[in-house]
């Protein structure tokens, strides 16, 4: 059973209030009453979600209908309640003034019950439509806030580029799978297995936390897409999902920045008795990229020979080496200074691979 609709009748005449209350009862409405504007405002502010309609007299002592209506429309909590002015004043100026102040309608006494019923029903219908619109807007705001919170939460676990795909139309197409040339950088620690055997779990997690923080900052600064952290191993790729014309250079500059920032970390760990080095493998080639995993647990990843090559180069890199594939080097040979390492025989690759070690970035003359 639904609660009855409640109207507020405001008139300084007790007789007029009783007449209107009886007419409202005939329409199925309950009524509260007030004998002046001040009393009406107190009732409205105390019951903003109960009172759905106000029948307001114009001429009253203390606070007349004009001032009461104006005060209602200035109060955000009650301005949405429709007001029908009920008055013996028939002047056009009074009608215009009330409508300009925000009144829904204007009726002159004596009130015809049928006209009152039609105006009340129209006012209540308009209010309920307004309430539905307001509820819809609140739901939209709540949904938007939820989406923003989810985006922020996703950004904690995904690279910013991949987090941005989740709620975009073009992102869904990329997540479904596509092929593109990318540059892949694999980074990991030399001596980590020995370190893990010696260190307490808490200290190992502390070292990894410092290492991952340094890596994450460099990845973000250079616009890389982080595929995963796996202990000491980190895989990052460039030119996807956001195209980057300088993707090879970005990868190399990121690796150099990591190598430079790794040095003070390694020195601090050395003082605690741990010998850890940093190695990187970088390769460029075509890969298939998109959503990888199963319902409830997806990653955004890359599959292809370029991923395997970068991983194998990383596993061969000595401490402080950044091993660069021949194709990657050819695309930025004017940008970086390298030393040849020779042809390496890598696991899973049938032919020896020409490889260079990155010494630094070429300084402009």
Q: What is the mean pLDDT of the chain?
A: 87
Place of tokens 């696991």: 347
Closest CA to 83 of 126, 46, 113, 133: 126
Q: What is the 3-state secondary structure (H, E, C) of 53-77?
A: EEEECCCCCCCCHHHHHHHHHHCCC
Q: Are residues 191 and 331 in the same domain?
A: yes
Whole domain around residue 50: which residue ranges?
6-136
Write down the pLDDT at residue 350: 84
Among candidate residues 136, 163, 185, the one where a domain is terminated: 136
Average pLDDT over residues 71-84: 93
Write down the pLDDT at residue 263: 94
Distance of CA 14 to the CA centre of its chain: 56
Average pLDDT over residues 100-125: 89
Asked if pLDDT for residue 89 goes beyond 60, the answer is yes
DSSP string, 116-163: HHHHHHHHHHHHHHHHHHHHHHHHHHHHHHHHHHHHHHHHHHS-HHHH
Q: Are residues 209 and 337 in the same domain?
A: yes
User: Higher-confidence residue: 231 or 339?
Assistant: 339
Asked if pLDDT for residue 24 goes beyond 60, the answer is yes
SS3 (DSSP) at 332: coil
Q: For residue 152, is it within any domain?
A: no
Residue 15, H or E segment: helix 14-26
Supply angle C-alpha 333, 338, 342, rounded to 5. Answer: 105
Q: For residue 260, is it within any domain?
A: yes
Q: Are residues 106 and 254 in the same domain?
A: no
Q: Are residues 108 and 246 in the same domain?
A: no
Asked if pLDDT for residue 32 goes beyond 90, the answer is yes
Write down the pLDDT at residue 157: 45
Q: For residue 35, is it within any domain?
A: yes
Q: Are residues 179 and 236 in the same domain?
A: yes
Place of tokens 């199963």: 294
CATH code at position 127: 3.40.50.2300
The tens digit of pLDDT for each residue in 165-222 reads 555 556 666 666 789 999 999 999 998 888 888 888 888 888 888 999 999 899 999 9
Total structural domains within the chain: 2
Q: Are residues 231 and 98 in the same domain?
A: no
Q: Are residues 211 and 121 in the same domain?
A: no
Asked if pLDDT for residue 112 goes beyond 80, the answer is yes
Question: How far apart, in Å, do the first and last CA atoms of the chain sit?
Answer: 85
CATH code at position 271: 3.30.70.1230
Q: For residue 317, is it within any domain?
A: yes
Q: Are residues 232 and 283 in the same domain?
A: yes
Residue 55 token pair: 């029948």
CA distance 170 to 152: 20
Q: Is the peptide bond before 288 cis (omega within 30 degrees of 0)?
A: no
Q: For residue 153, is it within any domain?
A: no
Write down the pLDDT at residue 365: 57
Q: Do 127 and 53 form a contact (C-beta atoms < 8 A)?
A: yes
Per-residue confidence band for 138, with pLDDT thresholds at 50, 70 and 90: confident
Write down the pLDDT at residue 228: 77
- This prediction has a pTM of 0.59
Tell me how crowded residue 357 is: count the other CB atoms within 10 A of its CB. 17
Among candidate residues 116, 136, 156, the one where a domain is terminated: 136
CA distance 106 to 121: 14
Write down the pLDDT at residue 197: 82
Distances (CA, A) of 41 to 45, 59, 352: 6, 16, 88
SS3 (DSSP) at 216: helix
């Amino acid at each position: 059973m639904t609660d009855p609709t409640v109207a507020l009748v405001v008139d300084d005449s007790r007789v007029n209030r009783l007449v209107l209350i009886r007419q409202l009862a005939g329409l199925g409405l309950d009524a509260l009453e007030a004998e002046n504007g001040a009393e009406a405002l107190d009732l409205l502010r105390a019951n903003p979600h109960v009172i759905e309609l106000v029948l307001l007299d114009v001429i009253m002592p203390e606070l007349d209908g004009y001032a009461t209506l104006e005060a209602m429309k200035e109060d955000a909590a009650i301005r949405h309640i429709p007001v029908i002015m009920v008055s013996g004043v028939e002047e056009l100026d009074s009608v215009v003034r009330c409508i300009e102040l925000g009144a829904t309608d204007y009726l002159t006494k004596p009130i015809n019950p049928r006209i009152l019923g039609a105006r009340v029903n129209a006012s209540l219908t308009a209010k309920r439509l307004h309430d539905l619109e307001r509820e819809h807007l609140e739901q939209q705001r709540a949904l938007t806030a939820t989406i923003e919170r989810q985006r922020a939460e996703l950004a904690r676990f995904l690279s910013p580029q991949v987090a941005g795909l989740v709620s975009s139309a073009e992102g869904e197409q990329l997540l479904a799978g596509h092929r593109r040339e990318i540059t892949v950088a694999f980074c990991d620690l030399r001596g980590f297995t020995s370190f893990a055997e010696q260190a307490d779990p808490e200290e190992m997690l502390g070292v990894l936390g410092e290492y991952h923080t340094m890596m994450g900052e460099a990845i973000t600064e250079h616009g890389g897409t982080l595929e995963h952290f796996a202990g000491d191993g980190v895989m990052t790729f460039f030119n996807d999902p956001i195209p980057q014309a300088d993707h090879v250079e970005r990868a190399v500059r990121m690796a150099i920045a990591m190598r430079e920032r790794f040095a003070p970390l390694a020195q601090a760990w050395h003082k605690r008795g741990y010998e850890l080095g940093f190695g990187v493998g970088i390769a460029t080639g075509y890969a298939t990229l998109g959503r990888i995993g199963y319902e409830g647990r997806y990653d955004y990843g890359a599959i292809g020979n370029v991923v395997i090559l970068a991983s194998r180069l990383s596993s061969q890199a000595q401490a402080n080496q950044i091993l660069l594939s021949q194709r990657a080097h050819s695309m930025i040979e004017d940008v970086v200074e390298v030393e040849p390492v020779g042809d390496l025989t890598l696991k899973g690759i049938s032919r020896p691979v020409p490889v260079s070690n990155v010494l630094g970035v070429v300084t402009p003359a």
